[in-house]
Structure 1
Amino acid sequence: MSVEPKLIRFNQSVLSKYQIYNSIFMTLPFDAVTKTGVLLPLFHETCEKGFKQGDDPTTIVDTFFKKYQARRSKESQINLLFRFIQYIERQVVLFDAIEDAAFPTVNNMEGIGTLRNLKETATSEHKLAELKEYLEEFKVRIVLTAHPTQFYPGSVLGIITDLTEAIKENDLNKINNLFGQLGKTPFFKREKPTPYDEAKSLIWYLENVFYKSFGDIYNYIQQNIYDDSKKHNEIINIGFWPGGDRDGNPFVKPDTTLKVAAKLKQAILKKYYSDLKDLRRKLTFRGVEERVIKLETIMYNYSINQITSDTLTAKEFIKELLSIRDLVVSEHQSLYVSDINNLINRVHLFGYHFATLDIRQDSRIHHSVFTTVIDHLIEKGNSSFPKNYHDLSEAEQIEILSKANDDVHDLDAFEDEMVCNTLKTISIIKNIQQTNGERGANRYIISNNQTALNVMQLFAMLKMVGFKDELTVDVAPLFETIPDLENAPKVMEQLYTNEAYMAHLRARGSKQTIMLGFSDGTKDGGYLMANWGIYKAKELLTEMSRKYDITAIFFDGRGGPPARGGGKTHNFYSSLGPTIEDKEVQITIQGQTISSNFGTLDSSRYNLEQLISSGIKNRIGGDNHLSKEDTLVMDDLAETSYQTYKDFKSHPMFIPYLERMSTLKYYAKTNIGSRPSKRGKSDKLIFSDLRAIPFVGSWSQLKQNVPGFYGVGTALKKYEDNGEFEKVEQLYKNSKFFKTLLENSMMSLTKSFFDLTKYMAKDEEFGAFWNIIHEEYLTTKRLLLKLTGYSELMQNEPAGKASIQVRESIVLPLLTIQQYALKKIQNFDREGVPADDKERKVFEKIVTRSLFGNINASRNSA
């Protein structure tokens, strides 16, 4: 199918509808300020004209008030700006709902990358047997994280869902009511959510989207690819971080983890009860009906009271369903047998856990906890740890840890809260496995993992606290920074050559999960180096693991925008080649990526299918191996880009610019996530303390998107200057990985708008620094167009580009207001206006409020 029809479909089903509904929306009286809906289009036009003329945001806002609202008081002007922000936030929701409603029309639900297409291709190429064999071991795991890139409270998510349905049905009356509801519903949280609140809002997606879309995909594979009703490898599963991710979040306590696990179990039991209720209306046959009623009653009671004695294990539940199915087949003409199969498949996929709770903590915390535990054991005497343990070499310590068999049961003996909580979390994993099944919680991730000792400290702690007889937990190191990625194969070899650790891996199916962090990688090493560094690390880790007959399972910590490893994710997985282990695709899905890529049944199914087929395409769809020459060019590009980015990062104005010219410090005030927005306690802004999300988000609010392109232009220019540009062209032609990398970078460039901050070029203090960024943007844009042969960015994706352009247009007034307010605050700073000044506080509130709509609008960064 040609590219053009997709754009036509987008224009007809999304753009035209948005224009019609937006005009209705603008006439609704939401607030006390009259004429907001009439004035916003005029303000929008003033912004567009102003930026074309080279005006700065302050001039644009002043011009608007002079021209259209000269008689308003200062207070009334500020009020109108707040109303504009409110309206724009709701316009973004309207556009989201229209795009969601049009998803199956705009995207070909049976086209390339879907399961139907995969099956047809495999059949026509006589590779169906190979496909079946591959599906028996291949898995996709999406891991839902509560990282704060999503600003909608649950009530608004509900409205978006209802609005999407109403738009699909063109129900004007319902749409009008929902517009009214939207106008009256608050969009932001007055208080920070707790980790439990975050878990509840993600469980909404499990219940309303994933339960159905996962089941449908599994049913399709079972019926159409295998053509049977037998149980196969589950292929897709879900991981879950809220309530288990303790890294940098002091609010995740052991009881939070238990509470979330109980909530997950309750949610899945309720879904089973609901399915059984539907089945009971169909299976009204003698010898069958009473058995279904009994199951329904058990599930209902069990979901209300998980401590009840009248219960079934997940295994017994499936066994009873299979027995009912056999009876229906043998005595009742197989009536409704597919409905019974659907439920059996869902129990197979979700068990009693719904999603697997991952536990995560920083290696530095583990080290300090472990030191306290060892000191306590040595002090008590009769320990397997020698008195001089802390003075021993790393290799000697690892040897002792691999044999450690002390019992640490009295966890309350430790007064330090962090020590006590870390150890209690380990014992809680055991509890969850007993109530929700082993898949309820069976993985512990060590962030900031640098050494084999980091892994062995946790390995020993798990055994000493809760798993002395059999360790049913996988230990997963997370490598994030560029040096840690380079060092990772050596760390893994140390572990693979440790007898005790290797015995543990053999007992766990000879698999080792290794997590790689894109977000922090980009923050640390820039766009090209982070992606290439992870690619190379995966190659070396695959080679090292295969040497010891271990299957490496790579778990990618990806964010929404390209700068955090997002973008067209499935393209990366279909381009990895045979040198990277590909039995499983595991990725984090966070914030607005959950709602934009997986928020509806259509988008969820489509994007899951794309991930499944990308991994399979990589295996049975040709060779993506990089040649020696191409590898050298890629190495060199990454190195040049890394040096360029490092120099930029160490510029004396880098931190002051982020601190004073961007929205960085306002992230903490938005109350969107339970985690603090930076790691350290220092008042001074230190780069290593910065979290990747506020860091990338602040560049995005400035419309400069630095982490998504900085260094790319300089790296390409080196080849142009040396007259060797054809080497890069060769790499682009040969490597799907490199091509995807650059296409994602183009998305970052498309979303940049330097006219917004052009006024900074004249700033005495920051002008030169702004120009450095702008220069790199221009160089990158020019050379990417030269390399791809495009006349404009994202030329190969006109529908995606059109979606971005509409969203950017919607938020243009919002960004203008934000910059206007930031400029006022910068002036207050220079004039020494105190922090508690009333007028200053108003402008700070404008900046914080304007963050919401802008971030929500960029959902297609995912």
Structure 2
Amino acid sequence: MSAQPKLKRFNDNVLSKYQIYNSIFMTLPFDTISNTGVLLPLFHSICKKGFEQGKNPTEIVELFFKKYQENPSEDEKISLLFKFIQYIERQVVLFDAIEDTAFPVVNNMDGIGTLRNSKEIAFSSDKKEELQRYLEEFKVRIVLTAHPTQFYPGTVLGIITDLDNAIKNDDLLLIKSLLAQLGKTPFFKKTKPTPYDEAVSLIWYLENVFYHSISDIYNYIQHNIFDGEATENEIINLGFWPGGDRDGNPFVTTQITLDVAERLRQTILKNYYLDVRKLKRRLTFDGIAEILANLEKRLLKHVRKSYENVTFSQKILLQELHKVRNILTKDHQSLFLDELDDFINKVHIFGFHFATLDIRQDSRVHHDAFTQIVKDLLANGDTTFPKNYIDLSADEQVEILSKVKGKINPEILTDEMSVKTIESIYALKRIQKRNGERGANRYIISNNQTELNVMQTFAMLNLCDFGDNLSVDVVPLFETVDDLQNADNVMRTLYSNKNYRKHIASRNNKQTIMLGFSDGTKDGGYLMANWGIFKAKEALTKISREFGITVIFFDGRGGPPARGGGKTHQFYASLGPTIEDKEIQLTIQGQTISSNFGTLDSSQYNLEQLLSSGIKNEVFTKDQLSDSHREIMNDLSETSYKTYVDFKNHPKFLPYLEKMSTLKYYAKTNIGSRPSKRSKSDKLDFADLRAIPFVGSWSQLKQNVPGFFGVGSALKKYEDAKRFEEVKEFYNSSDFFKTLLENSMMSLTKSFFELTAYMANDEEFGDFWKLIYEEYKTTKRLLLKLSGYAELMENHPEGKASIEVRENIVLPLLTIQQFALKRIQELQKSSGNEKEILILEKMVTRSLFGNINASRNSA
């Protein structure tokens, strides 16, 4: 099967099956309009032809009703359009399920980038020991975030799982029943989820996917690379943000943080309990059965009840399991040893915490909270800070902050945010006590600008009774273009501080630094954000090595290219020796969790690709940029940046997003607990815009601006100067540059300007729309010229095919959305249309879901 071209495998196992099952789905009567399934293909056909003929969404919708309905009333039209939305949402789920099921057939599970492939290359080139040494240190950390780029209710997730299995078994009767169930199950939530709800949704993936796929990978490495010997390094571990990420989310409370940590602990113990029960059925031997029976009782006790005093730990469980192992090898001929080792490995990897809960807060919130803490301490006669502290220079404050220690009582604080901040740190301590240190040991400062931001957090941690053993990493997150350029200066100051340096020494001489992609892209455009991060990593690597510190980079990628993502493993494989790569850490959000890690097969494959990208970069090849390539990259990103900033400062930029896109509807979808913008102001401010609604709004318009704008202008500069061949040579010789531009191609592939072509004639926004379209055409033309392709994504035909099917499924949905948006704008010109506007706004909001979920193959 794998000998066939990937595109053929995709067509045979995904596309053909979708066509068969969709035809069954379309004949199922879900509602009183029994012919909805018959009418949708007709509407789809009219949409397709209509856009080819240059019609606008309103003309297309009206043509459909004129051709296929006899004088329908307005209510009947609206009702049918809502039914279409309902059908299309479910078609997306059906396609997802079929694509997931076919994953191991379409993708070669032993091919390039898999562990088996990496092992064979290493062994055949006599690099076994080098590979072993590398894997004794190298780690991959996947950090799941609740950023809402996809959110199915639990009921729908359950149906999807059952549908996957039924499709795998070709169980036509069950598939038919499940499709009928899907048709009648609500897709949207009437109320916003709480951060705890979001955590529970993601814990499903931990329990049902990662628990198995990560341990399978570790077992493979142990048996095939380390010859059966265990390695202390867990190699892959998990991070978790829901319940700990406070940045802009007022709904994350200290209690929710503690509840999520407890849910993580009880979930992993439940999995251990089930595994011990399985082991008991096999290891029925003297001296072993008694130990396992005792462990089964202890685990069940802690799964059923959350005890105030915890008397059970990872260390105790491992001690008991190693006792079992010794007896098994000594007295029972190592019978079922592989099953026991598998369980020991799981306990070693997941501990009693399952995933490390990160705490995150914005530096501006910290600054205000910390300033008030100092004032409250001084007002209470506390001598921790000098009376003139607030008037001191930043350097003087940093010096004082590096030395403070103590135990703040939150009850003396007068400011609500100060109390919440200090309580969140005390929660860290409590979680470590219950779940082990890995339960929660990182504090991330988003929007980090200066060394003072880091030292304020460092001081707050030291004022929460950690004594001389601060078991928490302080992690600055540099996001904007300016902050990235200044990051190495900030870290030099911190490394030069005696007390902060001593803290890093106590943390194994490692400093984690997070670099944000989505806000960087929003701030500086695609090329500048990516190049800015590359250069920041180089500068931070250099300064860290100078001080004898290993820097660990934590990337806010793992989403669509417009949010800094794209082909993630190719990106990591392209980094050269000037960037530290002892660990790969990245956020995975929304649809990327389900598309890349949603099943055992896809999770194992993509985790192996990430592992192999590190191995490739370290053990096999190094892709180093030459000085001439650096000059070109600097010039391209500067030109791109200027083009993007001019565009962003265009007087119509914010009004266009506000009036012509779905931006304001994101807040109404109830797919995430976090507000869609940072401030409560009614006025739209660019700085307040969150990256997800910002990127998502461009995506819904099918104008994926953050993924390409400025790229075309930068390339055109070289074409006009007759220097295009230099860029071509750079593209052909650098994996980094090629990966960067291929991810931009993906954004272009998902653009469809015919949908909004009517805007070109808009009195207010016509010229602005044309500006975007011209940059799109320039970028597309020059990327094709650069790559030598006849069409975009020519080298990834199966990925292109998947995108095309998804875009084709949602074409009627996008048409309905634009029809509703256009009608709302018309109705708002006069009064008395509030009721109709309300219905149309609901239509826009409902159509967001299918479009969001359909674009999941973005990384």
TM-score by length of 1: 0.99
Deviation at 1:306, TM superposition (A): 3.1
The equivalent residue for 1:473 is 472
Deviation at 1:642, TM superposition (A): 0.1
> What number of residue pairs does the alignment pair up?
859
The equivalent residue for 1:858 is 855
Is 1:560 the equivalent of 2:559?
yes
Report if the CA contact (8 A) 2:488-2:539 is conserved.
yes
1:560 and 1:493 mapped to 2: Cα distance?
Answer: 31
Stretches of structure 2 lacking an aligned partner (at least 5 in a row): none
The equivalent residue for 1:794 is 793
**Larger CA deviation: 727-736 vs 525-534:** 727-736
Aligned counterparts, 1:128-527, within 5 A: 128-307=128-307, 311-408=311-408, 410-527=409-526
The equivalent residue for 2:761 is 762
Amino acid at match of 1:663: T
Deviation at 1:74, TM superposition (A): 1.2
Deviation at 1:400, TM superposition (A): 0.7
Deviation at 1:467, TM superposition (A): 1.4
Deviation at 1:189, TM superposition (A): 0.5
Alpha-carbon deviations, 1:350-372, whole Å to 9, x = none?
00000000000001111111111
The equivalent residue for 1:832 is 830
Is 1:773 the equivalent of 2:772?
yes
Residues 628/3 of structure 1: CA separation in 2 closer, same or farther (3 Å cut): farther
Stretches of structure 1 lacking an aligned partner (at least 5 in a row): none
Deviation at 1:311, TM superposition (A): 4.5
2:355 and 2:593 mapped to 1: Cα distance?
Answer: 15
Residues 570/650 of structure 1: CA separation in 2 closer, same or farther (3 Å cut): same
The equivalent residue for 1:51 is 51
2:155 and 2:214 mapped to 1: Cα distance?
Answer: 25
Alpha-carbon deviations, 1:810-829, whole Å to 9, x = none?
00000000000000011122
- SS at the partner of 2:553? strand
2:488 and 2:831 mapped to 1: Cα distance?
Answer: 53
**Larger CA deviation: 592-601 vs 282-291:** 282-291
Deviation at 1:559, TM superposition (A): 4.5
Report if the CA contact (8 A) 1:18-1:94 is conserved.
yes
The equivalent residue for 1:612 is 611
1:364 and 1:430 mapped to 2: Cα distance?
Answer: 24
Residues 309/741 of structure 1: CA separation in 2 closer, same or farther (3 Å cut): closer
Report if the CA contact (8 A) 1:719-1:728 is conserved.
yes
Identity of aligned residues (%): 68
Deviation at 1:574, TM superposition (A): 0.5
Report if the CA contact (8 A) 2:558-2:586 is conserved.
no
- SS at the partner of 2:463? helix
Structure 1 runs, 4 residues or longer, greater than 3 Å off: 1-4, 308-311
The equivalent residue for 2:627 is 628
Report if the CA contact (8 A) 2:2-2:108 is conserved.
no
Deviation at 1:512, TM superposition (A): 0.4
- SS at the partner of 2:141? strand
Deviation at 1:720, TM superposition (A): 0.3
Residues 423/523 of structure 1: CA separation in 2 closer, same or farther (3 Å cut): same
- SS at the partner of 1:445? strand
Q: CA RMSD in A?
A: 1.2
Residues 308/302 of structure 1: CA separation in 2 closer, same or farther (3 Å cut): farther
Report if the CA contact (8 A) 1:519-1:559 is conserved.
no
Alpha-carbon deviations, 1:699-751, whole Å to 9, x = none?
00000000000000000000000000011112101211110011000000000
Aligned counterparts, 1:26-175, within 5 A: 26-175=26-175
Alpha-carbon deviations, 1:39-68, whole Å to 9, x = none?
000000000111111111000000000000
1:384 and 1:396 mapped to 2: Cα distance?
Answer: 14
Report if the CA contact (8 A) 1:511-1:550 is conserved.
yes
Report if the CA contact (8 A) 1:554-1:586 is conserved.
yes
Alpha-carbon deviations, 1:569-623, whole Å to 9, x = none?
1111001100000000000001111011000000000000000010111111222
Amino acid at match of 2:338: S
- SS at the partner of 1:403? coil
Alpha-carbon deviations, 1:9-34, whole Å to 9, x = none?
00000000000000000000111222
2:386 and 2:289 mapped to 1: Cα distance?
Answer: 65
1:679 and 1:39 mapped to 2: Cα distance?
Answer: 42
Alpha-carbon deviations, 1:677-714, whole Å to 9, x = none?
00012101000100000000000000000000000000
Is 1:580 the equivalent of 2:579?
yes
Is 1:722 the equivalent of 2:715?
no
The equivalent residue for 2:839 is 842
1:59 and 1:21 mapped to 2: Cα distance?
Answer: 31
Report if the CA contact (8 A) 1:143-1:589 is conserved.
yes
Amino acid at match of 1:134: Y
Deviation at 1:309, TM superposition (A): 6.7
2:68 and 2:230 mapped to 1: Cα distance?
Answer: 70
Report if the CA contact (8 A) 1:302-1:311 is conserved.
no
Amino acid at match of 1:614: S
1:641 and 1:143 mapped to 2: Cα distance?
Answer: 30
**Larger CA deviation: 344-353 vs 224-233:** 224-233
2:827 and 2:530 mapped to 1: Cα distance?
Answer: 41
1:338 and 1:129 mapped to 2: Cα distance?
Answer: 24
2:773 and 2:830 mapped to 1: Cα distance?
Answer: 30
1:219 and 1:48 mapped to 2: Cα distance?
Answer: 50
2:267 and 2:831 mapped to 1: Cα distance?
Answer: 52
Deviation at 1:287, TM superposition (A): 2.0
The equivalent residue for 1:21 is 21
Alpha-carbon deviations, 1:304-352, whole Å to 9, x = none?
1231779532111111111111111121121111111011000000000
1:15 and 1:71 mapped to 2: Cα distance?
Answer: 37
Amino acid at match of 1:845: K
**Larger CA deviation: 467-476 vs 797-806:** 467-476
Deviation at 1:384, TM superposition (A): 2.9
Report if the CA contact (8 A) 2:575-2:622 is conserved.
no
Report if the CA contact (8 A) 2:310-2:434 is conserved.
no
